[in-house]
Amino acid sequence: MANYTVTGRDAGGLPVVSVTLASIDQEQQVVAEMTIVDAVRDCLAAVPGVQSVLARKYEQIITIV
């Protein structure tokens, strides 16, 4: 799984609240990771003072030479 950072920003564009998702543990795939990311986005969008929400995806790429 990639890491996601979901940030709620105020009207001036400054970060108000941030959530980092590093793992989702499932025995088998029950829910897609984007469903969880979207749920966190929706949650932060409902917070008073949050005007916009941005989700960023970070992936680690390992190259063996």
Torsion of CA 45, 49, 53, 56, to 10 degrees: -120
Q: Tell me the whole-structure pTM to 2 decimals.
A: 0.82
On whether residue 20 sits in a domain, the answer given is yes
> What's the average pLDDT block by block, 10 residues per block, for the chain (65 residues)?
92 95 89 94 96 93 85
Q: Give residue 12's identity as a one-letter amino acid code.
A: G
Q: Residue 63: inside a domain, yes or no?
A: no
Q: Is residue 64 part of a domain?
A: no
Domain count, the chain: 1
Residue 22 placed within a domain = yes
Q: Does residue 32 come out as left (phi exceeding 0), alpha (psi in the -120 to 50 range) or beta?
A: beta
How far apart CA 33 and CA 8 sit, in angstroms, is: 19
Residue 11 lies in a domain: yes
Report if residue 35 sits inside a domain.
yes
Quote the pLDDT of residue 16.
95
The Cα–Cα gap between 1 and 40 comes to 16
- The residue segments making up the domain with residue 19 are 3-58
